[in-house]
Amino acid sequence: MSKADVREPEVAPEDGEASVARERAGRSRPTVLVSDLRAELSSAIDGAPRWLTGAGAGLQGALLSLVSVVVPVLAVYVAASAEASGSDSGWLRAAGLGTDLWLLAHGVPLATGGVTITIVPLGVTALAVFCAFASARRSGAPTRTGLASAVLAYVLAVLAVAALSLPRGVEGGPSVSRVLVSAGLGGLVVGLAGLASGLAVRPDAPRLTTALEPVRRRVPRVAWLGAGAGLAVLAGAVALGGIVLVTWFLAGQAQIAQIVASLRLDALGGVGLAVAELAFVPNLAAWAIAWLAGPGFAVGAGSHFATTGVLGTTLPAVPLLGALPTPDSVTPTAAWWPLSLVALGALVGLVLRRRLGDVGPLAALGAVAAAALVAGIGVMVVVGSAGGVAGPGRMAQVGASGFVTGVAVAGAAGLGLLAVVVAANGRVLARLRRWTGAGIASWRSR
């Protein structure tokens, strides 16, 4: 008998249960339980309605950012207070302080010491936006229903926390309606920014151009391209403000070190102060935009920081404020800094002119107007949200005018856009050449 005639006995294929049992036999019991739990949770989430999945993502984003703020405050309290183990009221005060800070980051005014604090810690706001972004990217539903339910859940979560904080926050301060309206609007802005961007980057989400196509069809092409250029100008202005802020920190290192030494903080106090100051670093970047644009900003009544000069008063002993410009650090050349916004507009105008193609001067002017309008409104929101009431007395005036700064940025960047998009428009140049040629010919014929 040849080897070809010898057949190995056929093995019957295992059914599904047998293969699962065989796989389980090679693993430990805890591993099997964890795998089964993950499989059940995954199937339950995948089978859930879109609105329920979106609501879960929105609620998760709100709670994640709240915990990220409250837990460090509690940790600092536990490490700093010797009475933490014997008093529950201290824990409640620490948790309330973290909750108030989280609500303040959503624009909810805080009443303390007979003063209503309205300045928004933009660093905490950025943390809340990031938590919403991460939650939506991980477990959100990239549909209109999923986005709407996620934002609604986020807003309701902020409203619920604000309502629970009303007995402490309203006494001697803002009214109930103001607190709830601020909580609703702040939750809507923060939640929409974070959740929408998180859903947009999910692998199963439609492309951004596809999602915006219904809006794009209803907006003229010139206005659409101009709005995109305006967003680019806004991003550039924020970047320039960050650069200016870095130069302030480098120039004010000695002053910052002197303030830190005068406070005589221990290691824990220094860490706590540094973390608290990080919440307001974006505010200083927004003030730098106002300084760069020309209007300047104030840190207390009677003070004014601008490229044309500094009118300073006694500032609180906060190391972060030691980076602000001093009368000696502002040179006459600083008055030329607003030209950087004109250069920014010119750079954005080069890209805008290429995207517009061969259009008439009126269309080019419309694109420039749309870009300046979007950039100005964006700067108004950023700079306006970075100021407010930061304390009693002189600290009731902190920050810059969002409206004036927005107009200044729109005007400066608009000049650069006009020079590149309109003045250098092909049809405008052709007409100028014809008029110039006709004028020269007329002059020669005389």
**Residue 396, burial from CB neighbour count under 10 angstroms (0-12, 13-18, 19+):** middle
User: Can you say how many angstroms the Cα of residue 123 is from the centroid of all Cα atoms in its chain?
Assistant: 8
Q: Is residue 371 a contact partner of residue 226, using CB atoms and an 8 Å limit?
A: yes
Reported as a single tens digit per residue, the pLDDT across 217-272 is 888 888 888 999 999 999 999 999 999 999 988 888 888 888 888 878 776 667 77
Strands 115-117 and 110-112: antiparallel
User: Can you say how many angstroms the Cα of residue 38 is from the centroid of all Cα atoms in its chain?
Assistant: 34
Q: Is residue 330 a contact partner of residue 310, using CB atoms and an 8 Å limit?
A: yes
Distance CA 360, CA 365 (A): 9
Task: At 307, give phi and psi (nearest 5°).
Answer: -70, -20
Between 78 and 7, whose confidence is greater? 78
Beta strands in 219-307 (DSSP E): 298-299, 304-306
The 3-state secondary structure of the chain reads: CCHHHCCCCCCCCCCHHHHHHHHHHCCCHHHHHHHHHHHHHHHHHHCCCHHHHHHHHHHHHHHHHHHHHHHHHHHHHHHHCCCCCCCHHHHHHHHHHHHHHHHHHCCCCEEECCEEECCCCHHHHHHHHHHHHHHHHHHCCCCHHHHHHHHHHHHHHHHHHHHHCHHHHCCCCCCHHHHHHHHHHHHHHHHHHHHHHHHHCCCCCCCHHHHCHHHHHHCCHHHHHHHHHHHHHHHHHHHHHHHHHHHHHHHCHHHHHHHHHHHCCCHHHHHHHHHHHHCCHHHHHHHHHHHHHCCCEEECCCCEEECCEEECCCCCCCHHHHHCCCCCCCCHHHHHCCHHHHHHHHHHHHHHHHHHCCCCHHHHHHHHHHHHHHHHHHHHHHHHHCCECCCCHHHHCEECCHHHHHHHHHHHHHHHHHHHHHCCCHHHHHHHHHHHHHHHHHHHCC
Q: Is 115 helix (H, G, I), strand (E, B) or coil?
A: strand
**Residue 243 one-letter amino acid:** I
Please report the pLDDT score of residue 15 as a whole number: 47
**Residue 88, burial from CB neighbour count under 10 angstroms (0-12, 13-18, 19+):** exposed
Please report the pLDDT score of residue 189 as a whole number: 94
Reported as a single tens digit per residue, the pLDDT across 165-184 is 875 544 566 788 888 999 99
Cβ neighbors of 417 (< 8 A, separation 6 or more) are: 229, 233, 345, 346, 348, 349, 352, 368, 371, 372
**pLDDT at 213 > cutoff 90:** no
Range from 111-115, 211-215, 242-246 that averages highest in pLDDT? 242-246
Please report the pLDDT score of residue 81 as a whole number: 64
Q: Is residue 358 a contact partner of residue 89, using CB atoms and an 8 Å limit?
A: no
Task: At 363, give phi and psi (nearest 5°).
Answer: -65, -40
Mean pLDDT to the nearest integer, 136-165: 89
**pLDDT at 36 > cutoff 50:** no
**Helix (H) / strand (E) containing 104:** helix 88-105
Please report the pLDDT score of residue 167 as a whole number: 58
pTM (two decimals):
0.79
Distance CA 311, CA 258 (A): 21
Q: What does the domain layout of the chain look like in residue ranges?
A: 46-215, 221-433
Q: Can you tell me which residue has the tokens 């986005």?
A: 147
Reported as a single tens digit per residue, the pLDDT across 392-409 is 878 888 889 999 999 999
Between 426 and 389, whose confidence is greater? 389
Mean pLDDT to the nearest integer, 307-323: 81
How high is the mean pLDDT of the chain?
79
User: Can you say how many angstroms the Cα of residue 233 is from the centroid of all Cα atoms in its chain?
Assistant: 16
Reported as a single tens digit per residue, the pLDDT across 331-374 is 777 778 889 999 999 999 989 988 887 777 788 888 889 999 99
Range from 31-35, 60-64, 329-333 that averages highest in pLDDT? 60-64
Between 439 and 380, whose confidence is greater? 380
